[in-house]
Copies of this chain bind each other. A is one copy, B any other.
């Protein structure tokens, strides 16, 4: 692999995943990953443009940012690209009235959305709300529609809580796709539109940007398919096998966000 200087040349903007990069989550709350609070602060003091790009869909943006601020992170709602607000924009633009299969924590994002007589289904990382009954209801709504529309907030395979690996929304999206014979629209990583909207927000071109995430497929592979570079951190849901993934190779593997920021500050153009 080329030297870091070469791999990081021309980087002007950084997209940061949140869960597994900034913090670890558990049922009882979130904890900052060692060195990440300082790493974000140093990055934001540098000339590099920074944007947070998350698939978090169990919490509202306000709650998510509140939790991170509590942990000491320098972050505001305006700096985050998240799937629920992006979904609401799509629903309004297309006149879609959703049946929601989501976590209670994110429901407030949909407060001003018309949900009468649903003509689409929106699913997110619903956690315990992924009961058979709720899945079956979403399935039935889709099967009753002439042109079934399923919007999925991300399509992550799993995430890591301190108690272990947890099923993410992706599998449930696949279940509904299969049962209904349809294809979901993904709002969130690795959707190119989602990455592009994050880049637009900081005015950086894909070839000048680097994604830092813990998901080899959703973060690293997705960003690379958009023409960005991407680093994988060995925190969060990282598993050793990721470094020999059959389809995706990161532009670099680092122990954590602190090491990534060390390298970025050392090797990107001043």
Main secondary structure of the interface of A (DSSP, over half): helix
Convert A127-138 into 0s and 1s, putting 1 for each residue whose CB lies closer than 8 angstroms to a CB of B. 111111101100
B164 touches A179 (CB 8 A): no
User: Which of B131, B133, B172 has a CB less than 8 Å from the CB of A175?
Assistant: B172
Convert A173-200 into 0s and 1s, putting 1 for each residue whose CB lies closer than 8 angstroms to a CB of B. 0111111110000000000000000000
Residue A139 CB within 8 A of the other chain: yes
Q: A174-B175, A174-B178 are in contact. Are A167 and B128 (CB under 8 A)?
A: no
Contact partners of A158 in chain B: CB under 8 A:
139, 143, 179
Of residues 121 through 154 on chain A, the ones whose CB sits less than 8 Å from some CB of chain B are 126-133, 135-136, 139-140, 143
Instruction: Say how far A175's CB is from chain B's closest CB, in angstroms.
Output: 3
User: Which of B128, B164, B177 has a CB less than 8 Å from the CB of A132?
Assistant: B128
Residue A157 CB within 8 A of the other chain: yes
Q: For the complex, what is the distance from the CA of A130 to the CA of B157, rounded to whole Å?
A: 17
A140 touches B157 (CB 8 A): no
Candidate in A128, A132, A133, A166 with the most chain B CB atoms within 10 angstroms: A132
User: Which of B130, B164, B172 has a CB less than 8 Å from the CB of A140?
Assistant: B164
Contact partners of A128 in chain B: CB under 8 A:
131-133
B178 touches A157 (CB 8 A): yes
User: Which of B135, B143, B167 has a CB less than 8 Å from the CB of A136?
Assistant: B167
Q: For the complex, what is the distance from the CA of A192 to the CA of B158, rounded to whole Å?
A: 32
Residue A165 CB within 8 A of the other chain: yes
Contact partners of A175 in chain B: CB under 8 A:
167, 171-172, 174-175
Residue A170 CB within 8 A of the other chain: yes
Contact partners of A170 in chain B: CB under 8 A:
178-179
Contact partners of A177 in chain B: CB under 8 A:
174
Residue A219 CB within 8 A of the other chain: no
B181 touches A157 (CB 8 A): yes
| Residues in A lying within 8 Å of B, measured CB to CB | 126-133, 135-136, 139-140, 143, 157-158, 164-168, 170-172, 174-181
